[in-house]
């Protein structure tokens, strides 16, 4: 089996002392301030002079801010997380310029996850203990699983979520090896009633984490509390804990599913779903977001790359549900409410299983014929329409 070295993150819960928590919270605030000021400066430079500000120029701005008496506190925390925030901003702009993401947004103090990234020069790793810059004692980390033998962190990210939980994520260079070769291939049809349906006929139930954890109930209780009251703060923390529990359970279920698919099959075929467009349907948006199809595809992509498997992504406009997987006949229409249908050739189809089999057939055709697995960009419309 061939092996390769990849960067892999290992995430753990941690419990900083009161002094460490105060230092980390100060660092989070400074990181957010530097990011927002740099974003404001770069936006102003473009709107005023149509000039792009580079990372080097942003770094020079940071040096000037530290000399300003009003921002002297920036020099009291480790400089590495501040520089890393500028690098993250630079990466966000690169993604925007290459049309992979929207324009960078300002970071909020109350929304999102507060975090700070430390590179190798800003932490000490000794005898399995992690000590960050500006700290004298190592962090209290709960080692739910060991780091790979012989590996040391190349960067460390400490974060605190809205539920008040502290985490430390360690990025290490570790070797991964191909799974043993198998002769199985599978087509995967993503859905809502069932999370995925396989071309083998197997259906994996959708856990529906939001409904299971009664997120809507917690949100309604929060909405009824008076703004600024202690009861509202307690209700807010309860909603945050529910969100955190949903996130953990969803990620765990997707990891188990995608790892099984990659381990058991040499080739995995999926559809190129336009999730961003699909969530515009207000009746299905919450269910689609809860299923997290985009995260599942991302997991399949990197796991197939790690373990020597093939991931084939077929055209999103392929009529996988309306075509008969037995004779190839194509129906003119097939309403979403129709879950079973009979083809003139006599074949009786389960809608989802038939779609998964058609996805597999299209993926095998792509592999054999070298056709494009991803859809071609549609030509721009003529005339004045938008």
Instruction: Give me the DSSP letters along 273-297.
Output: --HHHHTTSTTTHHHHHHHTHHHHH
Phi (first) and psi of residue 79, to 5 degrees: -75, -20
Nearest to 77 by CA among 141, 160, 158: 158
How many CA atoms, within 13 angstroms, populate the side-chain half-sphere of residue 364? 13
Query: Is 352 labeled as catalytic in the residue annotation?
Result: yes
**Beta carbons within 8 Å of 277's beta carbon, 6+ residues apart:** none
Q: Are 156 and 123 in contact (CB under 8 A)?
A: yes
- Residue tagged active-site, from 271, 310, 333, 350: 271
Query: Is 189 labeled as catalytic in the residue annotation?
Result: yes
Structure tokens at 310: 């093939």
Phi (first) and psi of residue 342, to 5 degrees: -115, 130
- Residue tagged active-site, from 23, 117, 189, 290: 189
Nearest to 119 by CA among 87, 74, 91: 87
Phi (first) and psi of residue 53, to 5 degrees: -90, 130
Phi (first) and psi of residue 246, to 5 degrees: -60, -45
Query: Is 70 labeled as catalytic in the residue annotation?
Result: no
What is the rounded CA–CA span in Å between residue 14 and residue 354? 47
Helix (H, G, I), strand (E, B) or coil at 351: helix
Q: Are 57 and 44 in contact (CB under 8 A)?
A: no
CA dihedral 240, 242, 246, 249 (to 10 degrees): 110
**Angle, alpha carbons 243-249-251 (nearest 5°):** 100
- Residue tagged active-site, from 23, 117, 290, 352: 352
User: Could you tell me the CA-to-CA distances from 354 to 152, 185, 319, 320 in Å, in that order?
Assistant: 48, 16, 11, 7
Q: Which residues are catalytic?
A: 189, 271, 352
């Amino acid at each position: 089996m061939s092996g390769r070295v990849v960067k892999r993150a290992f995430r753990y819960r941690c419990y900083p002392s009161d002094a460490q928590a105060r230092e980390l919270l100060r660092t989070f605030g400074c990181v957010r301030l530097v990011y927002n000021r740099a974003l404001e400066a770069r936006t102003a430079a473009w709107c005023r002079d149509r000039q792009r500000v580079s990372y080097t120029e942003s770094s020079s701005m940071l040096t000037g801010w530290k000399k300003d008496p009003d921002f002297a506190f920036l020099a009291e925390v480790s400089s590495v997380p501040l520089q890393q925030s500028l690098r993250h901003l630079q990466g966000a702009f690169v993604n925007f310029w290459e049309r992979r993401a929207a324009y960078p947004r300002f970071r909020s103090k109350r929304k999102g996850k507060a975090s700070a990234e430390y590179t190798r020069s800003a932490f000490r790793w000794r005898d399995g203990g992690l000590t960050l810059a500006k700290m004298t004692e190592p962090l209290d980390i709960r080692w739910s699983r060991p780091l790979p033998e012989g590996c040391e962190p190349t960067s460390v990210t400490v974060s605190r979520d809205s539920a008040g939980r502290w985490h430390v994520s360690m990025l290490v260079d570790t070797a991964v090896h191909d799974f043993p070769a198998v002769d199985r291939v599978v087509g995967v049809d993503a859905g809502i009633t069932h999370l995925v349906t396989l071309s083998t006929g197997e259906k994996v139930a959708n856990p529906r984490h939001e409904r299971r954890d009664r997120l809507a109930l917690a949100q309604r209780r929060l909405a009824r509390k008076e703004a600024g009251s202690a009861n509202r703060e307690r209700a807010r923390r309860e909603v945050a804990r529910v969100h955190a529990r949903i996130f953990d359970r969803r990620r765990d279920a997707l990891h188990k599913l995608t790892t099984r698919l990659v381990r058991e099959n040499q080739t995995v075929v999926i559809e190129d779903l336009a999730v961003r467009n699909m969530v515009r349907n207000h009746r299905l948006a919450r269910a689609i977001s809860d299923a997290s199809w985009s995260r599942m595809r991302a997991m399949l992509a990197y796991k197939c790359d790690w373990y020597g498997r093939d991931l084939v992504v077929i055209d999103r406009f392929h009529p996988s549900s309306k075509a008969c997987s037995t004779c190839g006949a194509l129906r003119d229409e097939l309403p979403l409410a129709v879950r079973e249908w009979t083809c003139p050739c006599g074949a009786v189809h389960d809608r989802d299983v038939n779609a998964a089999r058609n996805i597999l057939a299209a993926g095998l055709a792509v592999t054999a014929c070298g056709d494009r697995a991803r859809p071609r960009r549609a030509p721009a419309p003529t005339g004045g329409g938008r």
